[in-house]
Amino acid sequence: MSPAPRPRPRSGGARRKPAPVREPAPERAPQTYRTSGTIKTVLRDAKFLVETEQGLEVIARAAGRMRRGRKIRILPGDAVEIEVSLYDPTRGRIVWRHM
C-alpha cells in the first residue's frame, strides 16, 4: 500500500516569510496647544466665540465627546479649555467646560 498523498496548500503558492520587525515611528510634534478662555458669544452652526486668557478671540466648536452626551450645555460666560491649532490660531476645539 502506498502512502496517502499530502494535501496541497489552499493558497496555491509557497509559504510567506514573516514580516520584518519595524522600528517604532518617531514622536511627532504636537499640532495644537491648550489654553483657557471664556465663551463670549454663541455663533450659528454650533460654534462659539471664545476669548482666551491671552486676549485672543478664537472661533471654536465643541469636541465630539461633548456633543455625544448632549447634556453639556455651553453658554456665554462659561469658562472653557480649548485646543488651538498651530496652523490657524483663530480656530479651536472646546475640550472641557469648567463648572
Domain hosting residue 39, numbered range = 32-97
Return the higher-pLDDT residue of 79 and 10. 79
The verdict on residue 18 lying in a domain is: no
Residue in the structure block whose three cell numbers are 462659561? 78
The verdict on residue 55 lying in a domain is: yes
Cβ atoms 61, 52 nearer than 8 A? no
- Over residues 44-71, the pLDDT tens digits come to 998 999 999 999 999 999 998 777 766 7
The verdict on residue 91 lying in a domain is: yes
- The whole-number pLDDT of residue 41 equals 97
The verdict on residue 6 lying in a domain is: no
Count of domains for the chain:
1
The verdict on residue 25 lying in a domain is: no
The verdict on residue 66 lying in a domain is: yes
The verdict on residue 58 lying in a domain is: yes
20-42 burial, b if ≥16 CB within 10 A, otherwise e? eeeeeeeeeeeeeeebebebeee
- The whole-number pLDDT of residue 35 equals 96
- The whole-number pLDDT of residue 84 equals 95
The CATH number covering residue 69 comes to 2.40.50.140
